[in-house]
C-alpha cells in the first residue's frame, strides 16, 4: 500500500512539477495520506527560495516564512529518499552540501515545525 501511495505522490509531483505545493501528512495504521493546504501553499512557496538552482555541490535556502524548518528530505525522480538533513539552526541553511548526490532531478521536501510540508524541485548538475 505504501508503494502505491508513494508512486501516486511521485506521479502527481511530476505532473505538477512546475507548481510547488504545501501539504500536511497524516499517518494512521501504516497508511500515509496528504492533505493539500491550499491557503498556505502559495505563501510558503513564495517565501522559500533555493539558490542557485541548478546546483553543483552546495546551495542555500532563504526562509522568510517566519516558521522554522526542522528537516529536509531529498527524493529521486522515482521517489526513493536519498538524503535526509535535520536542521537545528537556521544558519545551517546557508551552505547545504549535496555533492554526494548524482546528477539529476530531485524533489526536496521541507518540513516545518508547525507540521506543514513544502516540496520543491531542484536540478543537480
First and final C-alpha spacing in the chain: 33
pLDDT digits (tens, 9 = 90+) for 62-77: 998 888 999 999 999 9
For 25-47, what is the mean pLDDT?
53
What is the pLDDT, as a whole number, of residue 99? Answer: 94
Cβ-based neighbour number of residue 97 at 10 Å: 12
Mean pLDDT (the chain, rounded): 76
Percent of the chain with pLDDT over 70: 65
Domains of the chain: 2-124 (2.60.40)
The answer on pLDDT for 93 being more than 80 is yes
The answer on pLDDT for 86 being more than 80 is yes
84: left (phi over 0), alpha (psi -120 to 50) or beta: beta
pTM score, two decimals? 0.66
- Bridge partners (DSSP) of residue 72 are 85, 110
For 46-64, what is the mean pLDDT?
91
6, exposed or middle or buried, with CB in 10 Å at 0-12, 13-18, 19+? Answer: middle
Amino acid at each position: 500500500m505504501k508503494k502505491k501511495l508513494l508512486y501516486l505522490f511521485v506521479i502527481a509531483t511530476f505532473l505538477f512539477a512546475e507548481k510547488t505545493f504545501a501539504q500536511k501528512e497524516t499517518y494512521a495504521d501504516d497508511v500515509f495520506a496528504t492533505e493539500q493546504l491550499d491557503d498556505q501553499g502559495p505563501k510558503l512557496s513564495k517565501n522559500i527560495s533555493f539558490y542557485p538552482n541548478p546546483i553543483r555541490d552546495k546551495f542555500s535556502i532563504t526562509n522568510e516564512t517566519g516558521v522554522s524548518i526542522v528537516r529536509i528530505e531529498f527524493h529521486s525522480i522515482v521517489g526513493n529518499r536519498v538524503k535526509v538533513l535535520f536542521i537545528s539552526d537556521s544558519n545551517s541553511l546557508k551552505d547545504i552540501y549535496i555533492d554526494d548526490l548524482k546528477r539529476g532531478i530531485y524533489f526536496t521536501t521541507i518540513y516545518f515545525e508547525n507540521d506543514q510540508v513544502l516540496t520543491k524541485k531542484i536540478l543537480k548538475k
